């Protein structure tokens, strides 16, 4: 429900912005195009393109997994820097158990079997830099 309103609002914004164009698409066509774009962004796993569509506390859902977009991406980036769970916990002011839970969830969502697999996946899908 939290994602429907921003997406619908965005679609309505697109629809109203295109009224000035000589051949304007219908709101239905705009919504269909937005949906196509969204699925492409999801397939590309380009979180930056999705960010404007979602509230800061929204969760990113793709392929059966839910991404707490800020915290999980932040943990992936810290893992890429070589930090251990205890170091990540201290840096983020959360418990080591919470970091381990995030790591398990991230591994499951990316179908990774190790941190190395996760980092390779994250680089390949542009969640972190090379």
> Would you give per-residue pLDDT tens digits along the chain (130 residues)?
555 556 666 666 666 655 555 467 788 887 777 777 766 665 665 656 655 655 555 555 554 455 566 788 889 999 999 999 999 999 999 999 999 988 988 888 788 899 998 888 888 877 777 6
Q: What is the pLDDT of residue 22?
A: 47
Tell me the C-alpha distance between 84 and 82, whole Å.
7
Options 1.10.10.10, 3.90.1150.10, 3.30.1050.10, 2.40.30.10; CATH for 61-124 is 1.10.10.10
Tell me the C-alpha distance between 78 and 66, whole Å.
20
Residue range(s) occupied by CATH 1.10.10.10 in the chain: 61-124
Identify the CA nearest to 74 among candidates 61, 57, 91, 60: 91
Tell me the C-alpha distance between 125 and 103, whole Å.
17
Q: What is the pLDDT of residue 57?
A: 56
């Amino acid at each position: 429900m939290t994602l429907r309103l921003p997406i619908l609002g965005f679609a309505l914004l697109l629809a109203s912005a295109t009224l000035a164009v000589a051949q304007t698409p219908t709101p239905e066509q705009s919504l269909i195009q937005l949906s196509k774009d969204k699925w492409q962004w999801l397939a590309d796993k380009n979180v930056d393109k999705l960010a404007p569509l979602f509230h800061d506390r929204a969760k990113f859902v793709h392929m059966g997994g839910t991404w707490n977009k800020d915290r999980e991406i932040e943990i992936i980036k810290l893992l890429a820097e070589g930090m251990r769970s205890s170091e990540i916990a201290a840096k983020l002011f959360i418990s080591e158990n919470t970091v381990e839970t995030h790591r398990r969830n991230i591994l499951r969502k990316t179908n990774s079997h190790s941190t190395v697999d996760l980092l390779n996946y994250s680089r390949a899908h542009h969640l972190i830099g090379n």
